[in-house]
């Protein structure tokens, strides 16, 4: 089967084998409204859309970032953004494919990420281009980098090293964002890392959080009482599996509602089918740290 451009459908429909689906935003196409005009396709620099048999098709969930840049280009209102189970968006695969299509396509994608404030994906894309030894023209590169640096400065404001009066303590935070709902699971700082999963309140209660818990680790935080536990479990499972996480330390407060975070992490490791060491630490209301014991389940082994 071929699109108008001569591309075979099977060339674009192969999703990543074994990647678990996650709940996220992605486009949906109304076949009844779509007349096959193709005006929306140039608005998708990621290449997620193709015309097949006279109708628009989302040919790869991996390539759809769910930002909906294509919607404004559809005169029939046949495209909308929905939230559903889908393959996780993969910036690395998108960039690898775009490199073959030329620098103008790559530039359009980077501008698309910048305009939508997707600076984590933008940094990842620029890193991949550097890995491949590919450069952009000087003025365009400056524009993109200036936006990224501005965002970094704003996001990390207030995270600088503490003054000497606090015994030269400094932040051990190596990434942004940190909230589990917001972090991109394909971010390079997760790859082959030791992961710290902390309840939201822990850094406020435990004064030595940075030096005794966070140092040398990647980080996600969340609240098991206020947030979606099922979403957390699925996202952690995907993160553990795809980023080759070496170990997981989960830190909770001593209050009963916080303890469920440990079980969410345990279940995520179990369904990931990876033998990842797991350590559980409890922080008391008075700031005391307690090494907690726990039983091992299938796919989970205790940290030494």
Task: Evaluate whether 15-89 and 170-302 have a shared fold.
Answer: no
Tell me the whole-structure pTM to 2 decimals.
0.46
As a whole number, mean pLDDT of residues 39-59 equals 87
pLDDT digits (tens, 9 = 90+) for 111-162: 877 777 777 777 788 778 877 777 665 566 667 666 666 655 555 554 444 4
As a whole number, mean pLDDT of residues 82-107 equals 82
The CATH architecture one would assign to domain 170-302 is 3-Layer(aba) Sandwich (3.40)
CATH, domain range 15-89: 3.30.70.20
> Where are the domains positioned within the chain?
15-89, 92-155, 170-302
Asked if pLDDT for residue 277 goes beyond 60, the answer is yes
> What is the predicted pLDDT for the residue at 15?
40
> What is the predicted pLDDT for the residue at 18?
46
pLDDT digits (tens, 9 = 90+) for 62-90: 888 888 889 989 999 999 999 988 888 88
Question: 1 versus 268: which is more confidently predicted?
Answer: 268
* Secondary structure (H, E, C), the chain: CEECCCCEHHHHCCCCCCCCCEEEEEEEECCCCCCCCCCCHHHCCCCCEEEECCEEEECCHHHCCCCCCCHHHCCCCCEEEEEEEECCCCHHHHHHHHHCCCHHHHHHHHHHHHHCCCHHHHHHHHHHHHHCCCCCCHHHHHHHHHHHHHHHHHHCCCCCCCCHHHCCCCCCCCCCCCECCCCCCCCHHHCCCEEEEEECCHHHHCCCHHHHHHCCCEEEEECCCCCCHHHHHHHHHHHHHHCCCCEEEEEEECCHHHCHHHHHHHHHHHHHCCCEEEEEEEECCCCCEEEECCCCCCCEEECC
pLDDT digits (tens, 9 = 90+) for 154-194: 555 544 444 444 455 678 888 889 999 888 888 888 888 89
As a whole number, mean pLDDT of residues 254-282 equals 89
Asked if pLDDT for residue 94 goes beyond 70, the answer is yes
């Amino acid at each position: 089967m071929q699109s108008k451009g001569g591309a075979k459908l099977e060339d674009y429909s192969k999703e990543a084998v074994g990647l678990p689906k996650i709940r996220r935003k992605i486009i949906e196409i109304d076949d009844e409204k779509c007349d096959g005009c193709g005006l929306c396709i140039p608005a998708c620099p990621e290449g997620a859309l193709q015309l097949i048999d006279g109708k628009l098709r989302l040919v790869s969930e991996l390539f759809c970032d769910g930002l909906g840049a294509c919607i404004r280009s559809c005169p029939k209102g046949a495209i909308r953004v929905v939230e559903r189970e889908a393959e996780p968006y993969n910036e690395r695969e998108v960039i690898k494919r775009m490199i073959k299509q030329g620098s103008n396509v790559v530039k359009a994608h980077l501008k698309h990420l910048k305009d939508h404030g997707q600076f984590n994906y933008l940094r990842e894309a620029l890193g991949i281009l550097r890995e491949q030894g590919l450069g952009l023209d000087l003025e365009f590169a400056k524009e993109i980098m200036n936006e990224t640096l501005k965002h970094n400065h704003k996001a990390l404001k207030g995270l600088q090293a503490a003054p000497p009066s606090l015994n030269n303590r400094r932040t051990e935070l190596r990434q942004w964002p940190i909230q589990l709902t917001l972090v991109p699971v394909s971010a390079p700082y997760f790859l082959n890392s030791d992961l710290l999963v902390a309840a939201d309140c822990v850094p406020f209660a435990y004064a030595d959080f940075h030096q005794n818990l966070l140092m040398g680790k990647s980080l996600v935080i969340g609240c098991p009482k206020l947030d979606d536990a099922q979403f957390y479990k699925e996202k952690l499972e995907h993160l553990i599996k795809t980023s080759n996480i070496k170990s997981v330390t989960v830190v909770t407060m001593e209050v009963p509602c916080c303890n469920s975070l440990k079980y969410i992490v345990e279940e995520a490791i179990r369904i990931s089918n990876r033998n990842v060491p797991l350590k559980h630490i409890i922080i008391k209301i008075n700031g005391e740290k307690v090494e907690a014991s726990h039983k091992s389940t299938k796919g989970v082994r205790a940290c030494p």
